[in-house]
Amino acid sequence: MQEPIHQDPVKYNQIVSHIEEVFHAQGYKLQKVKDLAQKIKEGLQKISPFIQQSVEAVCPGCSNVCCVSKHGYYNYEDLVYIYALGLKIPDYDFVKKDSTPCQFLSEKGCIMERSVRPSGCNWYFCDSLLDHMEKRPEYAGFDNELKEVVEVWLELMNEFKGVIKE
């Protein structure tokens, strides 16, 4: 298994520089990637209220905080998505241990908008949270929307890989 890219800050920054360069040098070829990123963002914004209501009901009573540093870093796919939206990554504290609370976690929850959070954060639902979500009548609609976001995400990555292989 390959170690997560955030565990090597030099490697992480090299990957960030590479993706920045691809968007700078080949931005004109990446319009479809940018359009797909916008579609993902809109999909995440659409499902965010359902997730947020569930988080507000479950997380305050939890003694085992899931929002830890290891989930708070962008992976390669996240970086492509963020740059496709025309955004920059936040400054990271690479010294924090993976098990410490995420640097973006405040007393009121995450300070990052859900649509630009790392996928380790967005796609992780602990058992308690998932149990709560599955009992809600809106879950089926949420699950369908989430599947659509995932499909568009895969399409975005395939499109990006096609451009960088040219």
Separation of alpha carbons 89 and 78, rounded Å = 10
Straight-line distance from the first to the last Cα atom of the chain, in angstroms, rounded to the nearest whole number: 28
**Is residue 148 pLDDT above 60, yes or no?**
yes
Indicate whether 3 pLDDT > 80.
no
CA angle 62, 130, 132 (to 5 degrees): 75
Lowest mean pLDDT among 87-91, 93-97, 157-161: 93-97
Residue 43 burial (CB count, 10 A):
20
Q: What is the DSSP letter of 71?
A: G
pLDDT at 81 over 60: yes
Question: Could you count the other beta carbons within 10 Å of the beta carbon of residue 136?
Answer: 14
What is the rounded distance in angstroms from the CA atom of residue 47 to the CA atom of residue 148?
A: 11
More confident residue, 101 or 36: 36
Q: What is the mean pLDDT of residues 138-143?
A: 96
Note the residue count of the chain.
166
Residue 12 to residue 7: CA distance in whole angstroms: 8
Confidence at residue 1, expressed as pLDDT on a 0 to 100 scale: 42
**Rounded CA gap, 54 and 51, in Å?**
5
- Which domain does 101 fall in, by range? 5-165
Token digits of residue 78:
């996240």
Predicted confidence band of residue 22 (pLDDT cuts 50, 70, 90): very high
Tally of domains in the chain: 1
Residue 105 has pLDDT above 70, yes or no: yes
Q: Inform me whether the pLDDT recorded for 64 exceeds 90.
A: no
Q: What is the 3-state secondary structure (H, E, C) of 84-123?
A: HCCCCCCCCCCCCCCCCECCCEECCEECCCHHHCCHHHHC
Reading the block at residue 158, the tokens are 């395939």
Model confidence pLDDT, tens digit, residues 23-34:
999 988 999 999
Amino acid at 97: K
Band of pLDDT at residue 91, cut at 50, 70 and 90 = confident
